[in-house]
Amino acid sequence: MTTTRTIIFLVLVTTAMTLAGCRLSASTPPPVTETPDSAMNTLEAELGTIATQTAVAGGGAETVPSEQPPAQSTETGSTDTTQPTAPAPTSPPPQPSPTPAPVFTATPGLPETYQLQKGEFPFCIARRFNVDQSELLSLNGLGSESIVPVGYSLKIPQTGNKFFGQRALLNHPTNYTVVAGDSIYSIACKFGDVDPNAIAQANSLNAPYNVSAGQVLYIP
């Protein structure tokens, strides 16, 4: 009876392996060294395993793949820690050197001659250089009513005699508002003892030292 059952099971095993189409290799049965009942139990277990594998191979059951945890990236995300290279600073174009303003000084010392500018007259020059006005007129062959043109070269007395009378006609230092027809030379003559070069220097005026009506000048 036991032998018959063994033969039946062996036939079933052979049939199952044929159906699998050699897609799955059959497990090698362990050597039969046990008792007939133990061998039967082992064959039944093997048969059940083979039947399950046969069903899977034939498409009778779906194989559910085991989920694998996503691989952990050793990188720190997509954040780029590389510091961007700052562009090299662009040097500004060189600035043109400013033209230095001319430095004006009062007429040094006592000149031997002086060329009259617009708005000036002999008495004005006598006050400015503090020379005797009578000597100035006489030295140049002029009278008190003489009209001397612009550009005339006056000879300046060198005797050391001072101007007779009040040299300053207006108090200064002060501010002065330019009126139409004024120049730094005529303004200097209005004040009497002021040098026009000193006015130009005090107000940062450049040649030709033009002034306009309403302009406020500092008179040193």
Spell out the per-residue pLDDT of the chain, length 220, in tens.
556 666 666 666 566 565 545 444 444 444 544 444 555 555 555 555 544 554 444 444 444 444 444 445 444 444 455 555 655 555 555 544 544 444 445 556 799 999 999 999 999 999 999 999 999 999 999 998 888 999 999 999 999 999 999 999 999 999 999 999 999 999 999 999 999 999 999 999 999 999 999 999 999 9
Cα separation values, 95 from 58, 91, 92, Å: 90, 11, 8
Report pLDDT for 135. Answer: 97
Identify the sign of the CA torsion 179, 181, 186, 190: negative
Report pLDDT for 56. Answer: 45
- Select from 20, 96, 9, 98 the least CA-distant residue to 47: 9
Report pLDDT for 12. Answer: 64
Question: What DSSP line would sit under 144-191, residue for residue?
Answer: TT----TT-EEEPP-S-PPPSS---SS--SEEEE--TT--HHHHHHHH
Q: Encoding tokens for residue 78?
A: 């997509």
| pTM metric for this prediction | 0.52
Report pLDDT for 82. Answer: 56
Q: Are 167 and 130 in contact (CB under 8 A)?
A: yes
Report domain extents, the chain: 2-57, 113-219
Asked if the 113-219 domain carries CATH number 3.10.350.10, the reply is yes
218 SS3 class: strand
